Amino acid sequence: MITKATLADIPALNQLINSAYRGESSKKGWTTEANLLEGKRTNEEELAEIINNPKNTILKYTENDNIIGSVLLVEKENQLYLGMLTVSPELQNSGIGKKMLAEAENHARALGLSSIIMTVISVREELIAWYKRHGYVDTGEREAFPESGIHVTISPNPLEFIFLEKKI
């Protein structure tokens, strides 16, 4: 079941997102960033700020009272920004990500928005190919990956974001 996350979901979301993106647990799935970045992907304070902003929505995918998937959706003028699409590493390749993408598209349509945009780290070729199979196209736009205390690059090469977009 896909529903809107609330402040009460923050501890579970924090654990899920960090387990899927960074550290040893993330290596069970194919979407890990553990070979590129270390540190946490997010924290409870950031998730609270996201949920408290009326332009943002975090959708959660729940099964047997466990959050096993999530996605961040941000209203930006005539586009919906999609970020932090997360599926529990043990459950990746089971169709949950595809269902979350479809629900994001429904959300964009409900808001009257014309497209969904996202950024993906350019070296994550498998992930980019997955999004392309789901109708996203490379816009050609690039942006340097932001360095911060949370996102610590361990890749030997500089990282950059590529922008993907899907018209809906």
Where are any strands of DSSP class E within 24-126? Answer: 37-38, 56-63, 66-76, 79-87, 115-121
Domain CATH for 32: 3.40.630.30
What pLDDT shows up at residue 135? 97
∠ CA 39-126-98 to the nearest 5 degrees? 90
What pLDDT shows up at residue 14? 94
pLDDT in tens, 108-164: 999 999 999 999 999 889 999 999 999 999 999 999 888 766 666 767 777 899 999
Residues 6+ apart with CB under 8 A from 157: 123
The 115-121 sheet, strands edge to edge: 2-4, 56-63, 66-76, 79-87, 115-121, 160-167, 137-144
pLDDT in tens, 13-56: 999 998 887 656 656 655 665 566 566 778 999 999 999 999 99
* Residue ranges making up the domain that contains 16: 2-167
Structural domain count of the chain: 1
What pLDDT shows up at residue 148? 67
Which residues on neighbouring strands pair with residue 86, listed in sequence order?
Answer: 70
Residues 6+ apart with CB under 8 A from 150: 39, 40, 41, 42, 43
What pLDDT shows up at residue 79? 96
What pLDDT shows up at residue 9? 98
Which residues on neighbouring strands pair with residue 138, listed in sequence order?
Answer: 164
Instruction: Return the half-sphere exposure (C-beta side, CA atoms, 13 A cut-off) of residue 97.
Output: 22
Amino acid at 22: R
Distance CA 31, CA 124 (A): 8
> Are 90 and 68 within 8 A, CB to CB?
no
